[in-house]
């Protein structure tokens, strides 16, 4: 029995990145061997065990054979005769197909160390095309490693295009698409996820509402980058910068301008009403991918209300209160924070505007504090009852917001 550290732990150690998970492969063992040493079985489709002390995963070396379409269309074979090289050969990318022995020796049959040095995301073998999830994984790894200079090898991109052309991505189940997308939106440069999918032709299949934004012009005085798709990429990366690892903010950023793809050609580059026309495509995307309820709800609010946030310093106090009420900000301040982060990312996600101030956020936070400080007790003490209490509280909250000094516009 030989044990090896594999996958991300080896890759990240070579890159000098923090190691999150330690996964291991075991060569020359049977399930009974693992059980005899105290390992606890957890795998359903193939033999995976948890170490009795560390809780880390140990999988028996295995091979796989394509039996049908999609992620589940594989038959796995694990026995003591499967070699380490055979196990590594079934992995997606060369940088993930490096093993480290218990003595520290690296086993690298597919030149993953070379590709780490050259900053290349390259497939291990032609079998890459058999699993459509790998296309999403490559795009996600691009989002993670683009800040380090990684790019997708042209021959790998060619295989990804072939997977789209052959209809393999049509067999991706919504849960897997969302799972990979959610992780990508929490990476350092989520724009790379979108760009890789678009270059492979998969964005139009999986996210047609997003793909439709590319080539749509915007007014240059507000958007020096012109192209709405380019703006989206800038917003995604700014959201990742302002809220690292926050896929909720990332999803709202992804969807905030979907309405611009619906603008009639004869009124371009203006996009009057895009905040409303974007709701239908957003709902379609969220339903298709089975997006969590809060993600879908806040994304819709960000779509509808981001222009009101940008105009916050010009709004009447009563309108500001209505905005806070729509966001449920008085009861859920964390939701306001997420919303404001999306709006700030939208404002700063423009060519040459990355360091622009966004005083609207400061003002809306202050408005929330002022409105939230108004309670019902004083009105009850005055003898008000029923709806009269709510009406009095609303007037008081509007008055409190009206007293807030407005910072200079950014």
Domains of the chain: 1-115 (3.30.460.10)
pLDDT band at 382 (very low <50, low <70, confident <90, very high): confident
Q: Which residues pair with 48 in a beta bridge?
A: 59
355 Cβ neighbours under 8 A, 6+ residues apart: 348
Number of other residues whose CB lies within 10 A of the CB of residue 364: 26
310-321 pLDDT per residue, tens: 999 999 999 999
**Dihedral sign from CA coordinates of 71, 76, 78, 81:** negative
Q: Which residues pair with 375 in a beta bridge?
A: none
Mean pLDDT rounded to a whole number for the chain: 93
Q: Which range among 80-89, 118-127, 170-179, 308-317 shows the weakest confidence by mean pLDDT?
A: 80-89
pLDDT for res 80: 84
Q: What's the whole-number mean pLDDT along residues 75-86?
A: 82
Residue 231 to residue 214: CA distance in whole angstroms: 9
Burial call 338-350: b when 16+ CB within 10 Å, e when fewer:
bbbbbbbbbbbbb
377 Cβ neighbours under 8 A, 6+ residues apart: none
**Dihedral sign from CA coordinates of 150, 155, 156, 162:** positive
Q: Per-residue pLDDT for 98 more than 80?
A: yes
pLDDT for res 72: 53
Helix (H) or strand (E) holding 60: strand 57-60
Q: Per-residue pLDDT for 374 more than 80?
A: yes
**Dihedral sign from CA coordinates of 27, 28, 34, 37:** negative
- Beta carbons of 184 and 191 less than 8 angstroms apart: no
- Answer left, alpha or beta for residue 119, where phi above 0 means left and psi between -120 and 50 means alpha: left
Q: Per-residue pLDDT for 240 more than 70?
A: yes
Residue 90 to residue 87: CA distance in whole angstroms: 6
Of 45, 42, 1, 49, give the one whose Cα is nearest residue 23. Answer: 49
pLDDT band at 21 (very low <50, low <70, confident <90, very high): confident
Residue 170 to residue 36: CA distance in whole angstroms: 43
Q: 3-state class of 100 per DSSP?
A: strand
With tokens 């849960």, the residue in question is 175
pLDDT for res 65: 65
Q: What's the whole-number mean pLDDT along residues 154-175?
A: 96
């Amino acid at each position: 029995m030989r044990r090896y550290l594999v996958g991300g732990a080896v890759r990240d150690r070579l890159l000098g990145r923090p190691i999150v998970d330690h996964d291991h492969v075991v060569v020359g063992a049977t399930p009974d061997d693992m059980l005899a040493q105290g390992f606890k079985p957890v795998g359903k489709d193939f033999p995976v065990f948890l170490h009795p002390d560390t809780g880390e995963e140990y999988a028996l070396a295995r091979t796989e054979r394509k039996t049908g379409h999609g992620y589940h269309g594989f038959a796995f074979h694990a026995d003591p005769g499967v070699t380490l090289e055979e196990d590594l050969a079934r992995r997606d990318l060369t940088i993930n197909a490096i093993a480290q022995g218990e003595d520290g020796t690296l086993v690298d049959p597919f030149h993953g160390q070379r590709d780490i040095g050259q900053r290349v995301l390259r497939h291990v073998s032609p079998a890459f095309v058999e699993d459509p999830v790998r296309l999403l994984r490559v795009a996600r790894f691009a989002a993670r490693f683009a800040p380090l200079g990684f790019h997708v090898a042209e021959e790998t991109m060619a295989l990804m295009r072939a997977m789209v052309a052959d209809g393999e991505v049509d067999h991706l189940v919504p849960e897997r698409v969302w799972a990979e997308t959610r992780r990508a939106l929490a990476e350092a440069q989520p724009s790379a996820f979108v760009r890789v999918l678009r270059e492979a032709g998969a964005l139009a299949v999986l996210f047609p509402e997003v793909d439709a934004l590319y080539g749509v012009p915007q007014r240059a005085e507000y958007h020096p980058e012109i192209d709405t798709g380019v703006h989206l990429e800038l917003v995604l990366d700014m959201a990742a910068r302002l809220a690292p690892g926050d896929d909720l903010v990332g999803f709202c950023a992804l969807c905030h301008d979907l309405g611009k793809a619906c603008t009639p050609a004869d009124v371009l580059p203006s996009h009057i009403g895009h905040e409303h026309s974007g709701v239908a495509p957003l709902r379609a995307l969220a339903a298709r991918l089975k997006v969590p309820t809060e993600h879908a709800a806040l994304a819709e609010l960000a779509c509808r209300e981001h222009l009101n946030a940008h105009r916050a310093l010009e709004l009447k106090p009563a309108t500001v209160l209505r905005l806070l009420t729509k966001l449920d900000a008085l009861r859920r301040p964390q939701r306001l924070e997420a919303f404001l982060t999306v709006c700030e990312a939208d404002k700063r996600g423009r060519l040459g505007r990355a360091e622009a101030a966004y005083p609207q956020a400061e003002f809306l936070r202050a408005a929330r504090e002022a409105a939230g400080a108004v309670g019902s007790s004083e009105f009850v003490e005055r003898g008000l009852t029923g709806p009269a209490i709510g009406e009095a509280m609303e007037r008081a909250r509007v008055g409190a917001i009206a007293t807030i000094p407005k910072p200079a516009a950014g």
